[in-house]
Amino acid sequence: MKRDPGGLAAQEFDVLVIGAGAFGAAAAWDAALRGLNVALIDQGDFGAGASAECFKMVHGGIRYLQHADIRRLRSSCAERTALLRIAPHLVNPLPIAIPTYGHGRQGKAFLAAGMAAYDLLTLGRNAGIRDRSRHIAAMRLLSRHETLDLFPEIEQRALTGAAVFEDGQMYNTARLVLAFVQSAAARGAIVANYTQAVRFLWKGRRVCGVRARDLIGDEEFDIRAKLVLNAAGPWAEYLLQDKEHFGIHTRGHFSRDACFLVNRKPQSAYALAVPGFTKDSDAVVSRSARHLFAVPWRDCLLIGVWHRLFTERPDSAQVEEAELAAWMAEMNASYPALRLTREDVIYANCGLVPFGDSRTSTGDLSFGKESRYLDHRTQGIEGLVTLIGIRYTTARGDAAKALDLLLQQMPGAPGRAPTERVPLSGGDIADLSELRSAARRRAPEEISSGTLEAWLRNHGTNYQSLADLAQSAAEARRVANTDTVIAEVTHAVDQEMAVHLEDVVLRRTNMGSGSHPGPLALAEAAQRMQALLGWTDARRGAEIALTEGALAHHRASPPGTTA
Ligand SMILES: Cc1cc2nc3c(=O)[nH]c(=O)nc-3n(C[C@H](O)[C@H](O)[C@H](O)COP(=O)(O)OP(=O)(O)OC[C@H]3O[C@@H](n4cnc5c(N)ncnc54)[C@H](O)[C@@H]3O)c2cc1C
């Protein structure tokens, strides 16, 4: 992928997608697969919005059983199946254990009945997933003894065992967005990061493109398109703040969702669900507290998710120290054996997700249930649909629906594309362990197993470009104290449109996507980018400072320092 703002200005597109988070990227891929002429722009880097902050769960909808919402349960499960199928390198099954206590609603019989019903409702959950080791297994029950083997330190009073179900887990959320973007680009879409939609272009009451600003070249130009999909996530409604065309648009409610990563080796491959303190007021079956999850992810534990009403701009969302302390207290109360301290927290993620608009009986806003689709024809405006996504899990399917809505305005438009089964770039993998063995044979000897695993999980079959690059000793060299090698930096700049050091460190490689990689690593990666992009020394310094700022935003401190 080469950044080419000129290419965006030079033609009229069938569809322009604003925002390259999970939803916009999935929409661009879908539209390109339908054979349309597509442009995709993002004001930041691909996947750097809420999508990069995600808790990494691909929900199969088991939670909706509590809400007796079978339609949603099934569609969530279908999306999980689709992601497991089209991105096998980036999404894997994850077993989740819920400890069972006594004989009531926390008891084995109650949970087993619910999970068995879920299994029956989702019989086709592994359809088309070729690799059986990646199938979502049916529910199972663990004895008290087995449960304590896995989690020796959980509350033992009245413990009867655990009920286990499986969901999907993303290895790297930003790279999954990138896989959609790369797939769209491979089908001819023109994609550009750091390109902001400033305002819409109009022909009477019809949107016919956007005035865009290239934030790298600092130039403005028009991108013309027959149809525009506004998939700018929590920012989408700011583009509608134009009284002349949209009247007075009141932004919907958003939750600032947050989670954090702790430097604790997972005790097992299982995630653990423990009751938190927040009630799920929409539940019709059980009104007990929502679960908090401690999930193994890359040798650490990911803990979350917390929700808080947030009315400010998405850019200002962050995690306060006081909040971290409160969450740790809640987690320690729910799972005392963790004994979390501030020093354990190595990374915090947060971003905005739509809340529901309705209020519950207690006056609280209900959790958001569905993505929001605004077909602006209801306001007499043609050529524009706004999509505000709610769950990464449903991005593919919801993007397809939004496109269907938009394409109603294009006579003779192509029908649905099979995005639920066409593998994403790098995802055409019959068997991940076979690919792993082939990669071991092909990669230079000095490439460690940790590095190779990161290549396979982040790039799938495209790891071969890295293996080719790494034939040179200079490219095969590790970036200080990390498993990332210089070839990944080179590849990110040359092939994946990484523009800033932050793009490479936080989103293209594993360097800083889950912890601070250390100042030396930043310096080495910056030095390689300087050579590739012709930066001055001052620019290199500024890039390091920007990246430090982004890591500080995630409350990530350099190794060896106290958080
Ligand atoms: C802490 C947390 C945990 C979560 N956990 C889960 C989970 O486990 N599972 C799950 O399924 N979902 C989860 N979610 C929800 C999920 O992450 C989001 O619903 C999803 O990522 C939203 O994707 P999006 O594409 O709509 O938005 P975003 O990813 O925010 O993308 C919108 C993009 O639009 C761009 N943009 C904005 N304005 C403009 C403009 N004017 N011009 C050009 N570009 C623009 C932004 O830069 C951004 O990249 C979680 C969210 C958070 C915050």
Taking only the tens place, the pLDDT of each residue in 87-144 is: 999 999 999 999 999 888 889 999 999 999 999 999 999 999 989 999 999 999 999 9
Q: How far apart are CA 431 and CA 424, in angstroms?
A: 15
What are residue 229's DSSP bridge partners?
Answer: 17, 385
449 pLDDT exceeds 60?
yes
Q: For 181-207, how does the pLDDT look when each residue is reduced to its tens digit (9 = 90+)?
A: 999 999 999 999 999 999 999 999 999
Q: How far apart are CA 180 and CA 38, in angstroms?
A: 13
> For a substitution probing ligand 1, which of 43, 211, 228 has the most ligand atoms within 8 Å of its CB?
43
Residue keyed to tokens 């092939």: 495
For helices 395-407 and 70-86, the axis angle rounded to 10 degrees is 100
Q: What is the pLDDT of residue 278?
A: 64
Q: Which residues, including other chains, have CB under 8 Å from residue 250's CB and lie 6 or more apart?
A: none
> For a substitution probing ligand 1, which of 16, 17, 30, 42 has the most ligand atoms within 8 Å of its CB?
42
| Nearest C-alpha neighbor of 100 from the set 109, 108, 90 | 108
As given in the structure block, the two tokens for residue 293 are: 């999850």
Atom number in ligand 1 closest to CA 258: 1
State the DSSP H helix or E strand holding residue 33, giving kind and residue range, or none if neither. helix 22-33
Q: For 539-563, how does the pLDDT look when each residue is reduced to its tens digit (9 = 90+)?
A: 999 999 999 999 999 988 888 775 5
Q: How far apart are CA 347 and CA 448, in angstroms?
A: 25
More confident residue, 297 or 103: 297
Q: Give the chain's mean pLDDT.
A: 93
360 pLDDT exceeds 60?
no
What pTM does this model have? 0.96
Cα–ligand 1 centroid distance for 302 (angstroms):
19
Give me the half-sphere count of Cα atoms (radius 13 Å) on the Cβ side of residue 499. 18
Q: How far apart are CA 16 and CA 7, in angstroms?
A: 13
Q: Can you spell out the DSSP letters for 141-196?
A: EEEHHHHHHH-TTS--TTEEEEEEEEEEEES-HHHHHHHHHHHHHHTT-EEESSEE
Cα–ligand 1 centroid distance for 254 (angstroms):
12
284 pLDDT exceeds 90?
no
Q: How far apart are CA 405 and CA 230, in angstroms?
A: 13
Average pLDDT over every residue of 483-498 = 98
285 pLDDT exceeds 70?
no
User: 258, 350 in Cβ contact below 8 A?
Assistant: yes
Report which residue type is found at 262. Answer: V
Q: What is the pLDDT of residue 366?
A: 63
Atom 27 of ligand 1, nearest CA residue? 233
What percent of the chain lies above the pLDDT cut of 90? 81
Average pLDDT over every residue of 355-369 = 62
Atom 44 of ligand 1, nearest CA residue? 42
Cα–ligand 1 centroid distance for 373 (angstroms):
15
Other Cβ atoms closer than 10 A to 484: 27
Residue count (the chain): 563
| Nearest C-alpha neighbor of 162 from the set 92, 218, 115, 94 | 115
Q: What is the pLDDT of residue 287?
A: 45
> For a substitution probing ligand 1, which of 51, 80, 196, 502 has the most ligand atoms within 8 Å of its CB?
51
As given in the structure block, the two tokens for residue 107 are: 């008891």
What percent of the chain lies above the pLDDT cut of 70? 95
Q: Quote the distance between the C-alpha of residue 289 and its chain's center.
A: 25
300 pLDDT exceeds 90?
yes
**Pocket around ligand 1 at a 6 A CB cut-off:** 18-24, 41-44, 48-51, 53-57, 59, 196-197, 231-235, 239, 257-259, 305, 349-351, 353, 389-393
Q: For 385-409, how does the pLDDT look when each residue is reduced to its tens digit (9 = 90+)?
A: 999 999 999 999 999 999 999 999 9
Cα–ligand 1 centroid distance for 22 (angstroms):
7
State the DSSP H helix or E strand holding residue 487, giving kind and residue range, or none if neither. helix 486-495
Average pLDDT over every residue of 437-466 = 95
Atom 9 of ligand 1, nearest CA residue? 57
Q: How far apart are CA 312 and CA 350, in angstroms?
A: 14
Atom 48 of ligand 1, nearest CA residue? 49
Q: How far apart are CA 43 and CA 462, in angstroms?
A: 26
Q: For 224-239, how does the pLDDT look when each residue is reduced to its tens digit (9 = 90+)?
A: 999 999 999 999 999 9
